[in-house]
Each structure stands twice: as C-alpha cells, then as structure tokens.
Amino acid sequence: MTGLEAYKEHIQYSNNAFCKMVIRHAAIDKRFEAAPEMGAYSRE
C-alpha cells in the first residue's frame, strides 16, 4: 500500500466515523423533540 492509498483509506474511515456520529446525534435530537419531558434539557 502506498502512502497515497493509506491516506485515502484514513480519510474514508474518518469520514465514515463523522457521518455515523452526525446521524446518531440527529436521531437523539429527534427522540428528544418527540418526548421533551424525557430530555435532560428544555428548549423553551
């Protein structure tokens, strides 16, 4: 594996991790919007 291939693989893994985190947080936010009394914070 060349340095360029290793760099591309690193970028791909980093992007995948970032996307998973964004999707997970969006799902958590959506859940708290659906049931705000369960949330640890209030959006009033």
pLDDT tens digits along 7-43: 999 999 999 999 999 999 999 888 877 776 665 555 5
Q: What integer pLDDT is reported at residue 9 of this predicted model?
A: 97
Q: What integer pLDDT is reported at residue 36 of this predicted model?
A: 61
Q: What integer pLDDT is reported at residue 20 of this predicted model?
A: 97
Rounded distance between C-alpha atoms, residue 14 and residue 17, angstroms = 5
Q: How far is CA 17 from the centre of its chain?
A: 7
Q: What integer pLDDT is reported at residue 16 of this predicted model?
A: 97
Q: What integer pLDDT is reported at residue 30 of this predicted model?
A: 85
